[in-house]
Amino acid sequence: MYQNIRHQAHQARVRQELGLKRLEINSISANMADGAVTGVPPLPPRYRFRDLILGEYASQDEDRVQVEFYVNENTFKERLQIYFIKNQRSSLRIRLFNLVIKLLSCVLYVIRACLDVDPTQANCHGCNNTINYTWMEINWAPLVWVNRSSPTWGIQVAVAIISFLETILITYLSYKGSLVQSVFNVRFLLEMINTVPFIVTIFSQPLRNLFVPVFLNCWLAKSALTNMLNDLNRAMQRSQSALAQQVIILIATLLCLVFTSICGIQHFERAGKNINMFDSFWFVIVTFSTVGYGDITPELWVSKAMVIIMICVALIILPIQFEQMAFLWMERTKQGGSYSRQRAESENHVVVCATQLQTDVIMDFLNEFYAHPKLQDYFVVLLAPSELDNNLRRILSVPLWAQRVMYIQGSALKDQDLVRAKVDDAEGCFILASRNEANPAAVDEHTILRAWAVKDFAPNCPLYVQILKPENKFHVKFAEHVVCEDEFKFALLANNCLCPAMSTFITLLLHTSRGQEGQESSEEWQRIYGRCSGNEVYHIRLADSKFFGEYEGKSFTYASFHAHKKYGVALVAIGKDEVTGIKLNPGPKHIMRKGDMCFYMAITKEENSAFILAKKQHEKEKSKFNTTPRSTRTHSIIAGAGTVALELQRSRPSNASNHALLSPPHNPDKRPSIADVMETMEPEYIPVPLDEPSEDEADQHDGRGDVAILDYVQDYPPVQPYIGYTSMVCHLMKEKVPFCCLQLNNPCQHNNFEYAHHYKWPNKSIIVAAEYATPGLYNFIVPLRSQCRPKRELNPIVFLLENLPDERFLEAICCFPMVYYMVGSINNLDDLLRAGIIHANNVVVVDKESSKAAAEDYMADSGTIVNVQTMFRLFPSTSIITELTHPANMRFMQFRAKDCQALNVAKLEKKEKEKGSNLAYMFRLPFAAGRVFSASMLDTLLYQSFVKEYMITLVRLLLGLGHTPGSGHLRSMRVTENDLWIRTYGRLYQKQCSSSCEIPIGIYRTERKPLVGMEGILRPFQRHKKQRKKKDFFDEETRSQNSEREQLRELVKSRVKDLGLPEEHYDDLHNRRSSLSYVLINPSDDTRLELDDVIYLLRPDPLSPVPPPRPTQMRSPCRRTAASGRLIAHGLPRTARHSLLWTQNLETSTSSLLFRQFGRAVFVVIGRPDDEL
């Protein structure tokens, strides 16, 4: 039972001192049934506060809570201010109406002036007698009175009343306490002059014909137009129309001056010649244009005074207007324009965002971007918060770029700036990092925010992000393409130590060229080097290709060899599409299919080589009808009689002379040749790991004295301290090395080694000189400790750091074998000797981050260049690889004054720049030899990915930064005297494909040449001098150089002796200046091999060996049957089966089994085909 309880809430009225709010809540009683007292039941879920206010769900049966708000309503004046002044949209409508009224009054004046043709009849309204007011020889009656019809008067009065009321209202609403300031205003006075006389004529009929200067309303119309444009800009939020608005105001000012002059002269001349409106217009135009025909001239002095006044006003007002417009034009030029929406919808464009627009970076981007034929119709929009420097502004004003490039000053973090650049309609957005900053972490933070802002604004716009530190990559993982500078930079420097000049190889491969550089040079090496530099990576589907379509169903190795032999292209990779599943040299186990995407290196892509294919096809068809006997290739004693020679991959790579280039038996009667490449793989092959340790490896140590090579394991390195790195299987220590053992020159309880010489490493070391132990150095270690490298060939790594590393870095490197650090600098000779520079294979000098923010940009490399030059003078036989901030500074590397060879290269560089080459410094000797590298060379990788989406993945696979199952890896081999029998690059290609299934992709060639110095320069200028004087001069120069070398030699030897190091290892006789090194990418088949050539090879996956001979039914451990003609290797050690070479000679009916165990004896078993072995 419920009780009836009536609750009545106390009514309260809350008013603040300003009267902002009053709230009154009324509660109406509720009837309840008899029973226990319960609380107020909750409101239904559908009830909301809005429902309570509106009362949508209220009923008589439910409790009702009425809420009433009392807001301090604005006064009547405040409401008018909101409508007429404060509110943008209503104020815009008021100003537009005011503009129309003022223009209407001007039109009425012109109509009245055109209808008043007889000024002599002008008189007051209703007066019959003509009034004559003569003073100063002028009849003032035509100037005071006009003939105005009743309809015209009525309309003018109505317009005047409206204008008067509006003026009074606006003045009242904008009153700020100063009556004088409000009344004595030019606008207010003009309004009163043009409206009050008409209002007076309502009450005084004779004054209806009184002249009123209504034409002055044009200036009020101009003021209304200015205010209307301001309101329009605020309402539409158009912040970039200031210049257009100023142009409109300037035009309006000119029109007002002309209209005022026309009406004023026409009216004052009523007392004289009484010219009409058109004649007055003619006079004003002729006068203001300074033409002055003189056919119409004012006669009265008042007319002349009117002309003088208007000219003075024009000379005062117009310069002010022009100055404002010029200022706005300059500001807009600094800020850039806006990419129009119509242009963005009809044309393709890309956006480039950066903190600073550096001339070198932007020109590299433009040259590389527009090098592709498909991108010729694209537009580039530069978006940066900084202003354009004078140099870049001058370059972009060239017609070549002015029609393609647009600059916008703004920030990628502001949506209005992104709207101006039309990022949402762009084909791509490049976000470039500013590398010339002392704090790369802050630069990455800016890049990350820009990437987030662009992705938030335009989710469908592809992003191409350049970032500096690998640990920041995961922040921009959503981007379609990301290039991390430190990741690729240190990987390239590490690969330079394994494959010389790999940085030059990658740079030239990414560089867009037609291979025409250096073709006019007199040097042969420059011509072949420039021609081979035109090779790039292209892609095509097998089903659409003429290069590779005929090899469907054949092995990858077979297709690569025959495509290179027939067309000169190098098939290097295969993939499912342009991005995914890319494999470098998958080996003979991969059978070519129609859907395969082929990646090949060539000077031009297949689509541009149709005429070459047609020519080859024509020659092929012509050869069918040619009955002339052709000479066939002479095969070796192994393959010449029609047999097959297969060389299986060994368990481990040995030195360069023994790997893959096994010389055949020397026979003076028969010329060596190479086996044919098999079309498909035998199905019965057994995959064997390539890097299986042998017995003699157990005796090798890693230099720490207590850890054998067999203690190495292959696993993913623990990189918990760092993020953003790609995991690669590497050679690792079973147990982490103590931190005390990582410091090279710090004896501890585990060893007492003090110098690098005491470790007695089996291989030469690699010294890395850096300022800090940055996380990027981790990418230097990974390629050098990759599982693809044999354990016996691992080089010790010594980090020569100027500052102590932190524990995170030590934690990351303690799991790798033979990795050390040492605190020191390349400025100190003792530090270099302690680090083992005498025994070092390479010295890598990393650019200092603290020097990048130099006052003069190109001076950032000054310290590095001078230190490297000093190091090169002291240790001329050491291979030094240097990183520079600016590629233009590489001309100072290994600098020698008045070097004829360097001067010739400089002249060639200037010629290539004039021809428009994108990589004019490619002929600089340090760059061609791979001894200098700049991170700015990696910018092309990001630009190339816009057209070739696979380039980043392909380069990562080449450098060992990523791995695809079944993909091969990069390695190198050196040509020795025993390998010169191969003779040409084409035969080498066949040799590698038929034996180890490796794909050659280039050559690193070193030519020994004598030094060319002052003699080559002075000879053309001193022909008139005697030969004896020249000889004496050069003899003196030679003696000076020898004396300098002797002093440096004694300096180094004295320090070596003081430190207790052996002197016999110091070599100062071998000078790298006497050699010339360069890279040949995919050379032609007939390129002759030379001694000490380094061949770049793509080795297949370790689990993809070449197929062994087919086995048959075995009756003995090693059997040969005449029926099968095959060799059976059974019961032999696994390492022995890697080294089988089966040969057969059909002429003598003998078979030979050559069994090689490297480092041991060689056994030869000879028997007849029908004999059992």
Which pLDDT value is given to residue 1011? Answer: 46
Helix axis angle, 242-268 relative to 88-115, nearest 10°? 30
Tens digit of each residue's pLDDT (9 = 90 or more) over 886-909: 888 888 887 766 667 777 777 887
The reported pLDDT for the residue numbered 1076 is: 87
Q: Give the mean model confidence (pLDDT) for residues 301-328.
A: 83
Q: Which of 291-295, 546-550, 686-690, 714-718 has the lowest mean pLDDT?
A: 686-690
Measured over the CA atoms of residue 919, residue 922, residue 926 and residue 927, the dihedral's sign is positive
Residue 709 or residue 548, greater confidence: 548
**CA atoms of 763 and 776, how far apart (whole Å):** 25
Cβ burial 709-740 (10 Å sphere, 16+ → b, else e):
beebeeeebebebbebbeebbbbbbeeebebe
Confidence of residue 1107 (pLDDT cuts 50, 70, 90): very low
Q: For the residues of 989-1032, what is the DSSP string, one character each?
A: HHHHHHHT--EEEEEEEEEE-----HHHHHTTT-TTS-HHHHHH
pLDDT of residue 72 exceeding 80: no
Looking at the predicted structure, is the pLDDT value of residue 535 above 80?
Answer: yes
- Using the predicted structure, report yes or no on whether residue 73 has a pLDDT greater than 60: no
pLDDT for position 606: 83
The answer to whether the beta carbons of residues 141 and 209 sit under 8 Å apart is: no
625's CB contacts (< 8 A; 6+ apart) are none
Look at residue 1083 in the predicted model and tell me its pLDDT.
94
pLDDT of residue 337: 66
The reported pLDDT for the residue numbered 1026 is 44
Residue 853 has what pLDDT?
63
Give percent of the chain above pLDDT 70: 71
Predicted local distance difference test score (pLDDT) of residue 540: 93
State residue 854's pLDDT score. Answer: 62
Given this model, what pLDDT does residue 78 score?
Answer: 80
Evaluate whether 818 touches 764 at the Cβ level (below 8 Å): no
Nearest Cα neighbor of 788 from 649, 653, 694 is: 653
User: What is the DSSP secondary-structure string of 1042-1079?
Assistant: HHHHHHHHHHHHHHHHHTT--STT---S--GGGEEEEE
Taking the C-alpha atoms of residue 345 and residue 348, their distance in angstroms, rounded to an integer, is 8
Is it the case that residue 1120 has pLDDT exceeding 50? Answer: no
Q: What is the dihedral of CA 907, 908, 913, 915, to 10 degrees?
A: 120
pLDDT given at position 889: 85
Amino acid at 777: L
- Torsion angles phi and psi, residue 848, rounded to 5: -80, 135
Is the pLDDT at 352 greater than 90, yes or no? yes
Q: pLDDT confidence of 15, banded at 50, 70, 90?
A: very low
Contact of 600 with 570, CB cutoff 8 Å:
yes
Written as six digits, the tokens of 689 are 């790991």
Q: What is the pLDDT of residue 661?
A: 38
Closest CA to 231 of 416, 97, 327: 97
Q: Which DSSP category does 1108 fall into?
A: P
Q: For residue 668, count other CB atoms closer than 10 A to its CB.
A: 5
pLDDT band at 845, cuts 50/70/90? very high
Kindly give the residue spans of alpha helices, DSSP state H, lying in 747-858: 778-784, 807-813, 829-834
Is pTM beyond 0.85? Reply is: no
Measured in Å, how far apart are the chain's first and last C-alpha atoms? 115
pLDDT tens per residue, range 1022-1057: 444 445 544 454 455 556 666 777 888 888 888 888
Which pLDDT value is given to residue 173? 84
Whether residue 1066 contacts residue 874, with contact meaning beta carbons closer than 8 Å, is answered with: no
The confidence score (pLDDT) of residue 1032 equals 53
* DSSP annotation string for 106-155: HHHHHHHHHH---GGG---TT--SPP--EETTEE-HHHHB----HHHHHH
- pLDDT for residue 691: 44
| Euclidean distance between CA atoms 904 and 522, whole angstroms | 10
Collapse the DSSP code of 585 into the 3-class scheme (helix H, G, I; strand E, B; otherwise coil) and give the result. coil
* Residue whose C-alpha is closest to residue 707's, from 731, 734, 729: 734
pLDDT at 1131: 36
Q: Within 13 Å and on the Cβ side, how many CA atoms surround 413?
A: 8
Average pLDDT on 648-654 reads: 33
Write the DSSP symbol of residue 336.
Answer: B
Query: CA-CA distance, 190 to 210, in Å (whole number)?
Result: 17
Q: Which two tokens stand for residue 202?
A: 């309502």
Which residue type, as a one-letter code, is found at position 455?
K
- Per-residue pLDDT at 144: 82
pLDDT, residue 627, reads 36
At residue 88, does pLDDT exceed 90? no
Q: For position 236, what pLDDT does the model report?
A: 59
Rounded CA gap, 464 and 940, in Å?
Answer: 12
Interatomic CA distance for residues 235 and 80, integer angstroms: 19
* pLDDT tier for residue 1144 given thresholds of 50, 70 and 90: very low
> In whole angstroms, what is the distance from residue 80 CA to residue 172 CA?
10
Over residues 1110-1124, the mean pLDDT reads 36
- Given this model, what pLDDT does residue 776 score? 84
HSE value, Cβ hemisphere, 13 Å, CA-based, for 1166: 4
pLDDT above 80: residue 344: no
Bridge partners (DSSP) of residue 715 are 730
- pLDDT, greater one: 1076 or 661: 1076
Under 8 Å CB-to-CB from 676, ≥6 apart: which residues?
Answer: 639, 644, 990, 994
Q: What is the mean pLDDT of residues 38-46?
A: 43
- Strands (DSSP E) contained in 188-257 are none
Alpha carbon distance 212, 608 (integer Å): 80
- Predicted local confidence at residue 757, as pLDDT: 82
What is the mean pLDDT of the segment spanning 932-945?
88
pLDDT per position as a tens digit, 807-832: 888 888 888 999 999 999 998 998 99
- Res 873: pLDDT: 85
Q: Where are the beta strands (DSSP E) in 385-516?
A: 405-409, 428-431, 463-467, 481-484
Query: Helix or strand or coil: residue 826?
Result: coil
Q: How far is CA 226 from CA 92, 106, 185, 217, in A?
A: 11, 18, 17, 14
Closest of 501, 493, 490, 489 to residue 532, by C-alpha: 501
pLDDT digits (tens, 9 = 90+) for 721-774: 455 566 788 899 988 888 888 988 888 887 888 888 888 888 999 999 998 888
Average pLDDT, the chain: 75
- Residue 569: what pLDDT? 93
Pairing outcome for strands 932-934 and 879-884: parallel
Query: Is the predicted pLDDT of residue 24 greater than 60, yes or no?
Result: no
Mean pLDDT of 519-535: 89
In this structure, the strands spanning 1118-1120 and 1140-1145 are unpaired
Closest CA to 357 of 336, 342, 341, 371: 336
Share of the chain above pLDDT 90, in %: 24
Asked if 1067 and 1045 touch (Cβ cutoff 8 Å), the reply is no
